[in-house]
Structure 1
Amino acid sequence: MRRRTFCWRSLLAYGALTMLVNTTAWAAAPVTLLALGDSLTAGYGLSAQDSFPAQLEAALRAKGRDVRVVNAGVSGDTSAGGLARLEWALADKPHAAIVALGANDGLRGLDPANMRANLDAIVGKLQAAGVKVLLAGMEAPPNLGPEYAAAYRAVFAQVAKARIVALYPFFLDGVAANPALNQKDGMHPTGPGVAIIVGRILPQVEKLLDQVRP
């Protein structure tokens, strides 16, 4: 009887230890944040460490947050392209996502209604996968006229309202049209330009991460 009691106690102790180890490992797992976008996310013309995902991850870690930011930016991608590759991006099993698509839709003068349908589908699929979403808006090129610009701008607010997600109105806020913060093409930010983008969007990213329960 004593020997049997000892065995049971040993098993119980081992089980408790295993649960403790597993719980500690679970709690220590970093949050995965997906940055789904185009060249502005991919880091066109920049070193890897100067890209938006890399600088955002560094800023979040400086705040004491254990976050891994996945660079899911593809240069030249439209909202339709982002939707087409979303399943691939979800393979990283993100807890949260920043959707920063639409810049190339505007540059090509594509129909805002189609962009709205694509962004709505992207956000919906992310939500269905349990991913918390922050939608980043853009502005259309001024040469396309005020009517197109207004319809284009409205898309982001419409999708955010319909899907009940947070909206960061303009991804390039504080950087757009500033030669000192953009590369020679006038469209893609430099490393210091990205730093400004990160600094401005950071409060909303932190609010997004506060919703995550990994």
Structure 2
Amino acid sequence: MTSSATAADIRLAALGDSLTAGYGLPADDAFPAKLQAALKAKGHNVVIDNYGVSGDTTIGGLARLEGVMRTTPDGVILELGANDMLRGQDPEAAKANLNTILARLAKAGIPVLLCGMRSAKNYGADYAAAFDAVYPALAQKYDAVLYPFFLDGVTGHYGLTLADGLHPTAKGVDVIVERILPDVETFLKRVSVAKAAKAARADANP
């Protein structure tokens, strides 16, 4: 985990896999760092801690959740599931793990921005339909802000992915940040409301 810990109005935790960790990139080019810089440029005083682990599946993210929650983030950007899909794992298993993560965060009053993933086409139409339906269903269930496809505008575009065709280059991360930014700003509004409500409850019950 990398952190640029300073006094901030909002502190977010980015819980994810290699797409969050910044596989193959300098730390400053990873998604959380570039998103934090873009938000700062728009006047948002936000710190985003990078809890991305390359190779992580949804079960791995679930195993790390308690440690992330102990840092008391104001909100969580949740980006997991790509490795479950790439390994051909049952979409229902991924859904169950993500459901548990979202349920625990909801119980703690921590808002979530859920980053969706889409199935590769080589798994067939039935698998793709089942996997692709996971994120919209969970976002609706938990009233999470949904960014439908984390790699939107990157996958299949020359120069925006590394040689493996999967992970974004620094320019690819720029595209992700540009496209997700409006949803993140919507998310920040929710986080601010939730944080204010927690502060009010704390004042009422010293």
TM-score, normalised by the number of residues in structure 1: 0.85
C-alpha distance 29-69 of structure 1, shift in aligned 2 (>3 A): closer
Residue from 76, 97, 111 that aligns with 1:97 = 76
Please tell me whether residue 164 in structure 1 is matched to residue 159 in structure 2. no
Distance 1:162 1:131 in 2: 15
CA drift at 1:174: 0.3
C-alpha distance 49-150 of structure 1, shift in aligned 2 (>3 A): same
Unaligned runs of at least 5 residues, structure 2: 1-6, 196-206
Distance 1:158 1:33 in 2: 23
Please tell me whether residue 88 in structure 1 is matched to residue 50 in structure 2. no
Distance 1:106 1:141 in 2: 8
Question: Is the contact made by 2:34 and 2:174 (CA closer than 8 Å) also made in structure 1?
Answer: yes
Moved over 6 A (4+): none
Residue from 8, 13, 20 that aligns with 1:34 = 13
Please tell me whether residue 130 in structure 1 is matched to residue 109 in structure 2. yes
Please tell me whether residue 173 in structure 1 is matched to residue 152 in structure 2. yes
2:125 maps to what in 1? Answer: 146
1:195 maps to what in 2? Answer: 174
The one-character-per-residue Cα deviations of 1:140-188 (angstroms, maximum 9, x if unpaired) are 1111111101100001111111112121110000001112100011100
More helix per residue: 1
- CA root-mean-square deviation: 1.0
Distance 1:29 1:201 in 2: 21
Residue from 48, 54, 71 that aligns with 1:75 = 54
Q: What fraction of aligned residue pairs are identical, expressed as a percent?
A: 55
Instruction: Give the stretch that moved more between structures: 120-129 or 54-63.
Output: 120-129
Count of matched residue positions in the alignment of Structure 1 and Structure 2: 187
TM-score, normalised by the number of residues in structure 2: 0.88
CA drift at 1:42: 0.1
Residue from 190, 199, 203 that aligns with 1:211 = 190
